[in-house]
Amino acid sequence: MRKRLLCGLIVIFGTGANGQWLNYPTPGTPRTKDGKPNLTAPAPRAAGKPDLSGLWQPEPAQPGENHGLFESLGAFVVPGDDPTTFSKYFFSVLADFKPAESPLRAAAAELVRKRGEALGRDNPTSHCLPMGLPGLHLIPSPYKIVQTPSLVMFLYETVNNTFRQVYTDGRKLPADFQPAWMGYSVGKWEGDTLVIESAGFNDKVWLDGFGTPSSETLHLQERFRRLDFGHMELQVTIDDPKTFTKPFSFKLNQRLVPDSDVLETVCAENERDVPHLGR
């Protein structure tokens, strides 16, 4: 199943070299003597808390890290776009589980199988619909965090520049949701970690490239901890009783993209992929 779906997966998710505003020095960036950004400098702080502001994307997988998990990836390596370096969670949020230990419920597993046979034709992003969470933090495409005392904004470059608002003003999640692609998010600080709780999602979001589904009962927790100037740890906990038999978590690191920016992305403009899906 995974090999069949991968053909559609690369068409849908392959990012190549994302257009960015290159080589414009970001104010406030610590630098080494040769003028390069010092990514191991201390993390900046704002109002007594770590400042997460900046342009980020997932750290690439180490050589051989995905070997044995996704054996067919090597066949799809192209210049500038090497899926063997993508986070394993980009392909499957269940990458840490052995097949016999997977918490995926039987109906959800059957849906993943059918999506694999369809070669990704039904993936929302193949129809220029939003990617959703946690995929937007797993795909190797940049996103910007803008942090204020009462609101943290996430601006994503991929798929029509999706945005997200995380309220840190003390409010609670709404009691009555209108299901949404990005859900509703509130955050609070636990020491130097920003903890984001999200709910109110629709049931259309794919959690990963292999088509793991979600339902309207999905509750997502993200814990962002900036380790130094250029590195941030992200822990994701997925709790969706209709899809999984138990909550589960995984960690991955995010890496700062210095002296750059997000650019406009319009999915439907000159779109030519859909007619070729499944061929």
Please list, residue by residue across 256-266, b when 16 or more beta carbons sit within 10 angstroms of its beta carbon and e when fewer do: bbbbbbbeebe
148 in any annotated domain: yes
State how far the Cα of 221 lies from the Cα of 185, in Å rounded to an integer: 9
Q: Are strands 143-147 and 151-156 parallel, antiparallel or unpaired?
A: antiparallel
CA distances from 255 to 141, 185, 202, 225, 272 (A): 11, 23, 29, 12, 31
Range of the domain at 85: 2-14+45-258
8 in any annotated domain: yes
39 in any annotated domain: no
33 in any annotated domain: no
How far separated are the first and last CA of the chain, in Å rounded? 16
| HSE value, Cβ hemisphere, 13 Å, CA-based, for 276 | 9
What's the pLDDT score for residue 83? 81
Q: Tokens standing for 241? A: 């009783």
SS3 assignment, position 195: strand
Confidence of residue 79 (pLDDT cuts 50, 70, 90): low
50 in any annotated domain: yes
SS3 assignment, position 89: helix
218 in any annotated domain: yes
Percent of residues, the chain, with pLDDT higher than 70: 85
The letter for the amino acid at 140 is P
State how far the Cα of 77 lies from the Cα of 81, in Å rounded to an integer: 6
- Answer yes or no: is pLDDT of 267 > 90: no
The answer to whether the bond into 60 is cis (omega within 30° of 0) is no
pLDDT, tens digit, for every residue of 21-58? 667 888 899 999 999 999 999 999 998 899 999 999 99
- Answer yes or no: is pLDDT of 72 > 90: no
Confidence of residue 7 (pLDDT cuts 50, 70, 90): very low
* Average pLDDT score over the chain: 87
- The pairs formed by 148-154 with CB atoms below 8 angstroms and a separation of 24 or more are 149/46, 149/47, 152/52, 152/187, 152/194, 152/196
What's the pLDDT score for residue 21? 60
279 in any annotated domain: no
**Domain count of the fold of the chain:** 1
Q: What is the CA radius of gyration of the chain?
A: 19
What's the pLDDT score for residue 85? 84
Q: Where does residue 246 rank: exposed (0-12), middle (13-18), buried (19+ CB within 10 A)?
A: exposed
Higher-pLDDT residue of 4, 253: 253
166 in any annotated domain: yes
Confidence of residue 61 (pLDDT cuts 50, 70, 90): confident
Mean pLDDT, residues 145-163 taken together? 93
